[in-house]
Amino acid sequence: MQTIHECLPCFVNQALGSLKHCGATDEQVDGAMRRVFRELAAIDYRSTPPVTAQKICRIVSGALGVEDPYADQKRRFNEFAGRLLPGIARKIAAQQDVFAAKVKLATAANIIDFGSNVNLTEEDVLKNFERMTTVPVNTAAIAALKETVNAAESVLFLCDNAGEIVFDRFLIEEMPYEKIACVVRGYPVLNDATMDDAEAVGLTGMVRVLSNGSGAPGTILKECSTEFMHLFEAADVVIAKGQGNYETLSGTTGKRIFYLLQVKCPMVASEIGLSVGSLAVVDSTGGRYDRQREVAA
């Protein structure tokens, strides 16, 4: 998915929001935003949005003098998600289709994204979980995901954000996880999950977890490690969480990919064929989202 002019305000808001949220001084904000504007003036519109987002995040981190500005927030949301999970798990256990309910929950958890909302609160997450019971999902894509994962010999699961990763683990428990490898970011960027988060939520005790070797808020294949690329190429199916992974991988050919994300951007919404705020479960072999298959689950 290429960058378009409408992406520019989002880059500016992301940088300014991050700087202020992380306590930057006026001088730090001024210097960093000048560098951001120079970066945007030279933007390559053929690249995907996470390419530029990664550069902006580096500018913000450099201005603050901190490698991981969101470390405390990531830890807080991991702990918050961990406290929520037992009660949610009891409700899901009573569902007729537990797998579909877990997919929907993991997709709704993609709201925990500081790239789209730096001021996200725990209350915002709770409200999103409450509304997910009435939000439609592509049940045909969920059924195809279950069938494909069960039939596959190897599955690669690309995680997205801290906090959200708790619910990814909950979903993976419903899968044949002995053949699943999970992937996190190689370096801190926004509130994206790294190996520290995978260890903190117990994911490393369940499946093999590796970093992709990149610090982009997505999966830019040419930046990823050799180890990751070997697994990506060999995987029978890839499950990709989040909008950044959709933006960077949606043009990939020759690979079965299921995208699980909450739509946060009008451009992504237009490409998928859904409205902003929707829960999207997209099968890469199925073309645009089939609105006729929208049913409340």
Q: What is the pLDDT of residue 132?
A: 85
Query: What is the DSSP code (8-state) at residue 75?
Result: H
Rounded Cα–Cα distance for residues 189 and 216 (Å): 7
In this structure, the strands spanning 155-158 and 237-241 are parallel
Spatial contact of 258 and 143, defined as CB atoms under 8 Å apart:
no
pTM value is 0.93
CA distance 264 to 267: 9
Residue 279 identity (one-letter amino acid): L
Residues 3, 199: Cα–Cα separation, whole Å: 34
Q: Do 67 and 26 form a contact (C-beta atoms < 8 A)?
A: no
Residue 108 to residues 68, 139, 140, 297: CA-CA distances in angstroms?
25, 15, 18, 13
Instruction: Return the pLDDT at 136.
Output: 86
pLDDT value, residue 287: 47
Looking at residue 288, its pLDDT comes to 43
Q: Which residues have C-beta within 8 Å of that of residue 281, sequence separation ≥ 6?
A: 103, 107, 137, 138, 141, 142, 145, 258, 259, 260
Domains parsed from the chain with CATH numbers = 5-64 (no CATH), 71-296 (3.40.50.10880)
Residues in the chain with pLDDT values less than 50:
287-297
The strand order across the sheet containing 279-283 reads 208-211, 180-184, 155-158, 237-241, 257-262, 279-283
Tokens of 141: 């894509």
Res 294: pLDDT: 37
